[in-house]
Amino acid sequence: MDLVSEEGLRMDGRRPNELKRFHTRLSPIQSADGSAFLSQGNTQVLCLVYGPKQPTKKQGLLNVVFNIARFSHVGSKERLLELSQLIVQTFEPVILKHTFPKSQIDVYIQVLQTDGSILAAAINATSLALADAGIPMLDLVVGVSGGFGSGQALLDLNASEENLETPQLTIGYLPRSQKISSLHVLRLMLVGKQIASRAS
């Protein structure tokens, strides 16, 4: 199935290098120390941040809980745990930990609706919620997904494109320093052939 038409348009009407429409709202939940609602196309994410605070158990700086609404998409426990760990790996190197040693930050991510690029949307929502909570960071982290189909690179994949099992990756990017905070590869393409891969 062709992901890009002869007119140069994808299934949802975007061009290969065109991002989904982006909307954010800071502090939608006043009871949290920081919160952010984000929509990228039809993917919607709510992120709540509590802390820094005294740790409740021995663990790292970030405690991340990742959930996906059942009416939106059913994710396995293993997949949710993987997404939680990817958020931790993306943000722990970015947060200025020396400003609050021996502390814990709780991050709750709720995916309300899915249409692809869940990890990228979660990275963006988490970045905004941490900033809203006043957590000092080296930079805001910007998440974006990419793939390859119909002989072209595609930005910000939707669910239909992901379901076709195209080669995919998600990047956490630091715009000020122009560095990559995280790189998660779902599938690779080598010498014209796809190989299953999960790396981060």
Q: What region, left, alpha or beta, does residue 8 occupy, with left being phi > 0 and alpha being psi -120 to 50 degrees? A: left
Q: What does the alpha-carbon distance between residue 77 and residue 80 come to, in Å, rounded to a whole number?
A: 5
What percent of the chain stands above pLDDT 90? Answer: 62
The whole-number average pLDDT for the span 118-128 is: 97
Token representation of residue 32: 């949290």
The whole-number average pLDDT for the span 25-51 is: 97
Q: Given this model, what pLDDT does residue 139 score?
A: 96
Looking up tokens 């009416």 gives 71
The whole-number average pLDDT for the span 18-24 is: 94
The whole-number average pLDDT for the span 17-26 is: 95
Total H helices, total E strands in the chain: 3, 10
DSSP, collapsed to helix, strand or coil, labels residue 80 as helix
pTM of the complete model: 0.89
Q: Given this model, what pLDDT does residue 199 score?
A: 47
Write down the H helix ranges in the chain: 77-91, 118-132, 159-163
The whole-number average pLDDT for the span 30-46 is: 97
Q: What does the alpha-carbon distance between residue 145 and residue 93 come to, in Å, rounded to a whole number?
A: 20
Exposure string (b/e) for 170-189, b if CB count within 10 Å is 16 or more? bbbbbeeeeeebbebebbee
Q: Is the pLDDT of residue 170 over 50?
A: yes
Q: Given this model, what pLDDT does residue 84 score?
A: 95
The whole-number average pLDDT for the span 149-159 is: 88
Where is pLDDT greater, at 70 or 51? 51
> Quick one: how far is CA 2 from the chain centroid?
26
